[in-house]
Chain A
């Protein structure tokens, strides 16, 4: 039965070819450090799933944000777990993306023919930092508020357009409801869209070119 269903689907979707291309390909011998990238990918999935769940209850306005986060943490079943996974997942993401990047540098994997993979990787790193910065404000607690005040003010030091950047980030002169709303929008729409596109290109390139082999000393 299962065989017939998969046959039926394959005729229409051609999934076996896809499966073979992605999973049944030969790769050079690797070591455990090569799992860092996929761990980061797993975390991205974790962040997306828990993030979507959080938006079910979270409300991005100053008068409700804090209460709704408190509600998620204290009242909703498993809310503490979902929020905990998202919170710690963010930190883990930064660590793993960083380690993955170090692995790539140490193995010289950014070299021919994987330069574009590297570019997308650098942008992915920036996206992750952007996630961290925008997500920080959302609980609307003291730490969120004041760290964002300082964070946005730091951006204002940029020469020439600093003030303009500050105003764009805050949506005005002050940190306000507008800031919270736009940080939320960037955190759940703009950055995820960027992240997913970048991940898709990144993975496509990894599969197309293949994972780099462990370099040998003698070359």
Chain B
């Protein structure tokens, strides 16, 4: 633009202005109308759509896929086309260039021409940019979500990296029969925490899948990650997953979605890897998800591996049901048939069902439409429920895992099952640990412990099985075996016996029960050694129970109080009332023996242990590395020893066994693990600390 052109422009502009309207009100009224429309549009948007607010920010949630505000979408989309080292072009070069172009536009386009059509380059370039921004934005919306993985990666991989890689490195190889879910959830080996506290069950499943099949995780993120999160699909029904992969867009929940035929998009190996990721070849989980519905909780199989593999692979009719007409009356068959067709129509059938059918059917009531047909099937038995052809559904790895788990589980002693059964059926009379107690069915009778070494030694498994199965009607014990009308199957009784037998190694109660019927046969010190020492220590120094020899206990309790405590027990603790077992005389003997323990003990007595000279050096040497610098309990000084700690005071003066510090050293704690984590302290050091606490934990 030269001088003349400028003058000419000003001249023409001046004329245009003179001919034009006044700003107020002719022009400003248009502005007002548009402002009103804009305002109304905003109010409408606020009213109809509101202002969105998602979940509270969670920095720990690495699975969240961020989406920028719409006006940044084109920029995000642009970044997709500049991967890796080219990123700087998309992020920096292009935006900076655009802004510079925009800013210096008046210097770039210096001609005097102003009409859009007279400036084809500027108009065209602008149109191009507008179209590009529009297309990029549209594309970004279509490709939801935006490129989360370029910045955050595969969410399951992230989970693995942040939780497992620190100890396990980039990958873990596990044998096929490993129950990965259980290992991760409960923690298995030294130093591995129980992740169930930090991770959801779904996340653990995803991790298990990732560990077994990292490729599957990657494939999942690439192909499914746009719509699904791994944690929502893992451990789903393999039938559904397989169907979704095979049918592609024809799979009902995927209908109408723009997804490819997975059978073409993914190779067979890739599909296998994907399925291995989604349903980790973890036998226990596979069994729980796929088999337990029909086979119940107890795994039992007596054949060899190849038979089992064949059965699982081929599916079909393999469960032989007994012909129930031989064992049930006609009325019972009718009731069951009606119950199976419609449980609400025959509630009385539930009892029959739980007695006879749940062993195989679990809690799942088979679906039959017609009572007559149901009766026919139940009465005649035989193969009647079709098992899916798992060979077509599970990947080879999953089959391996399932087979080896089933074999393993049916071989191993079902201690856990036995424990559950014991808790359900036996503990009411025999106590939680078989310690016995008052007999509810016969007054003045006490049930002897069945957990004592003596009891277990004199009864072999067959006898125990017979007792459980037939009961002991003379003593008020009803029969428990199904053969005698009880609720337990032979397998369950086996499990129960195995559980009871497991006490033999370390019986919870050594004390022979006959003592109760021969009250005068043993004296105070012996009773103490047999009964009290288990919890209170052989010299009353306190173990699980509080110290009886320390001055805290001795001075705080009168003889009568001690007598009463022994007599009726402590409701809140494991201390039971011995009044029913011991005579008053015996309890008196105990009281005086406990008084002796307080007075004439050997070893370092209370007051002789010094905190400064004896206790603190141990604490400094053995505990100070962590306790002092890492928060929580601080072992550095008397004050901090007594007052710091996340779980309240760790020292209860006079009560070594009740103090958290004592418990941690003895391994009797209820929270966390034994301290120090590397192994117990030498007994003498433990004793020093316990003696100091027993002496009232003085600052000496």
Residues of A participating in the B interface, judged by any CB pair closer than 8 Å? 22-30, 32, 34-36, 38-39, 42-43, 46, 62, 66, 69-70, 73, 80-81, 83-89, 91-92, 94, 96, 102, 105-113, 115, 118-119, 122, 125-126, 129, 132-133, 136, 139-147, 149-151, 153-155, 157-159, 175, 210, 212-213, 215-217, 219
Contacts and interface: CB of A to CB of B under 8 A. Distances in A.
In the A-B complex, list the 7 residue pairs whose CB atoms are closest, starting with the nearest. Answer: A84-B46, A146-B66, A215-B114, A145-B57, A108-B114, A23-B24, A38-B31
Interface residues of B, number: 79
Interface stretch (B87-95, B410-418, B549-557): B87-95
A42 B43 contact: no
B35 A39 contact: yes
Contact of B151 (A126, A141, A150, A216): A150
B68 A142 contact: no
Contacts of B10: 113
B53 A81 contact: no
Best-buried of B6, B39, B58 by chain A (most CB within 10 Å)? B39
A111 B51 contact: no
Contact of B106 (A22, A69, A110, A129): A110
Contacts of B588: none
Interface stretch (B116-124, B191-199, B526-534, B648-656): B116-124
Contact of B54 (A39, A85, A143): A143
A75 to B, nearest CB: 13
A106 B35 contact: no
Best-buried of A23, A88, A139 by chain B (most CB within 10 Å)? A88
A26 B59 contact: no
A88 B41 CA distance: 9
Contacts of B54: 141-144
Interface stretch (B14-22, B373-381, B422-430, B499-507): B14-22
A219 B112 contact: yes
A62 B57 CA distance: 9
Interface in B1-60: 1, 6, 9-10, 12-13, 16-24, 27-28, 30-31, 33-35, 38-39, 41-43, 45-47, 49-59
A39 B31 contact: yes
A213 B16 contact: yes
Interface in B44-84: 45-47, 49-59, 61, 64-72, 75, 79
B35 A147 contact: no
Contact of A46 (B20, B39, B45): B39
A38 B112 contact: no
B61 to A, nearest CB: 7
Contacts of A23: 22-24, 28
A213 B50 CA distance: 40
B54 to A, nearest CB: 4
Given A118-B106, A153-B151, A213-B13, A143 B27 contact: no
B105 interface: yes
Nearest to A65: B57
Given A85-B42, A87-B46, A107-B114, A66 B56 contact: yes
B13 A28 contact: yes
B68 A118 contact: no
A145 B114 CA distance: 45
A140 B106 contact: no
24 contacts: A29-B20, A32-B30, A34-B27, A42-B38, A46-B39, A107-B116, A108-B109, A111-B109, A111-B110, A136-B69, A141-B53, A142-B64, A143-B52, A144-B54, A144-B57, A145-B59, A146-B152, A149-B66, A157-B87, A157-B91, A213-B12, A213-B17, A219-B115, A219-B118
A106 B57 contact: no
Nearest to A137: B57
Contacts of A26: 17-18, 20-23
B43 A85 contact: yes
B102 interface: yes
A34 B59 CA distance: 46
A108 B53 CA distance: 41
A44 B241 CA distance: 52
B650 to A, nearest CB: 30
A107 B118 CA distance: 11
Contacts of B41: 88, 92
B115 A147 contact: no
B113 interface: yes
Nearest to A174: B59
Contacts of A80: 46, 50-51
Best-buried of B58, B114, B119 by chain A (most CB within 10 Å)? B114
Contacts of B102: 122, 125
Given A136-B69, A144-B57, A215-B115, A27 B23 contact: yes
A89 B106 contact: no
B265 interface: no
Contacts of A84: 42-43, 45-47, 49-51
B55 A141 contact: yes
B99 interface: yes
A159 B105 contact: no
B117 to A, nearest CB: 6
Nearest to B105: A110
A112 B115 contact: no
Best-buried of A86, A108, A119 by chain B (most CB within 10 Å)? A108
Contacts of B72: 132-133, 151
B102 to A, nearest CB: 5
Nearest to A125: B102
A88 B42 contact: yes
Interface string B427-468: 000000000000000000000000000000000000000000
A108 B113 contact: yes
A213 B42 CA distance: 31
A74 to B, nearest CB: 9
Given A25-B22, A219-B113, A219-B118, A42 B51 contact: no
B103 interface: yes
Best-buried of A28, A66, A132, A159 by chain B (most CB within 10 Å)? A28
Contacts of A215: 114-116
A58 B196 CA distance: 37
Contact of B23 (A25, A139, A151): A25
A173 B66 CA distance: 19
Given A105-B122, A132-B71, 13 more contacts: A23-B28, A24-B23, A26-B22, A35-B30, A87-B51, A88-B51, A108-B115, A111-B114, A125-B102, A129-B71, A141-B56, A146-B66, A213-B17
